[in-house]
Amino acid sequence: MKTEVILTSNIVGLGAESDNVKVAAGYARNYLFPQRLAIPLTRANKRQIESLKQRRAEREAHEFNTMSELAKAVSKLICLVKVKAGEDGKLFGSVTSGMIADELKHQFDITLDKRKIHLEHPIRALGEHEIELHLHAEVKGTLKVRVESLTPAPVPTPEAAAEAKAAEEGKRHRTEKRGYGRREPEVAASDKAAKPEKAEAVAEKKPRAPKAEKPAKAARAPKAEKAEKAEKPAKAE
């Protein structure tokens, strides 16, 4: 069962002062009326609507001025949020609007409804992030949030620095050795380029060998002796 009431205070999700709304009878009877957040809709109570509208206008003007000043002040702040993170910078979880609201209260004593902190996606990376604030229907602002790791980066000890230096020298030495290795094919190429010249020199020397002529002279000698022997019988006749 519904009943009509006149709101005397601003209620998020329901209405503001002087609004005429319908609510459940039990909700009005057990909560709104006892808390003086609303009054029943009657002819006598209708006369209060004008005063409620005036109160509403004053409240909204005050909120607008307050949020405008807050937007200017917050834009100069950096809200620090420390979370657990791995060595690679990835967070164990994420930074939410509720965490930012808590840090604003803790660091700057600024009370801000987390619903006014607009995050399209939860923050999941270290560093600075600029987020948008919806402070009022007509007022928006920005806030810088710096996310840092709870575990500080390890400070290098002298032993670790010496080991890093030795590793760097070893890496440089290996790089130089690889550089020398690259020159070896060039030397081999020069040797290969020199080999054809040697082969040509050897080819030129081979025709000069006189050993091939000696057997020819030895072969001619027997022929001459045979000719002399053949002539001797002719003289005897």
CATH homologous superfamily, domain 72-149: Ribosomal protein L9, C-terminal domain (3.10.430.100)
| pLDDT tens string 65-83 | 999 999 999 999 999 999 8
Mean pLDDT within 48-73: 92
Amino acid letter for position 49: I
- CATH 3.10.430.100 residue ranges of the chain are 72-149
Amino acid letter for position 171: K
| pLDDT tens string 90-111 | 788 889 999 999 999 999 999 9
How many whole angstroms separate alpha carbon 129 and alpha carbon 211?
A: 96
The answer, yes or no, to whether residue 181 has pLDDT greater than 80, is no
Cα-only R_g, the chain: 52
**What pLDDT was estimated at residue 142?**
95
Cβ atoms of residues 116 and 122 within 8 Å: no
The C-alpha angle with vertex 86 and arms to 152 and 167, in degrees rounded to 5, equals 75
- Cβ neighbours for 19, distance < 8 A, ≥ 6 positions apart: 6, 7
- CATH 3.40.5.10 residue ranges of the chain are 2-68
Mean pLDDT within 35-56: 88
Share of the chain above pLDDT 70, in %: 68
CATH homologous superfamily, domain 2-68: Ribosomal protein L9, N-terminal domain (3.40.5.10)
Which of 85-99, 153-167, 204-218 has the largest mean confidence? 85-99
| pLDDT tens string 145-160 | 999 988 765 555 566 6
For 210, which DSSP code?
Answer: G
Mean pLDDT within 191-206: 48
Q: Alpha helix (H) ranges present in the chain?
A: 25-27, 43-46, 49-74, 97-108, 158-205, 214-236
Cβ atoms of residues 115 and 135 within 8 Å: no
The answer, yes or no, to whether residue 166 has pLDDT greater than 70, is yes
**What pLDDT was estimated at residue 66?**
94
pTM above 0.85, yes or no: no
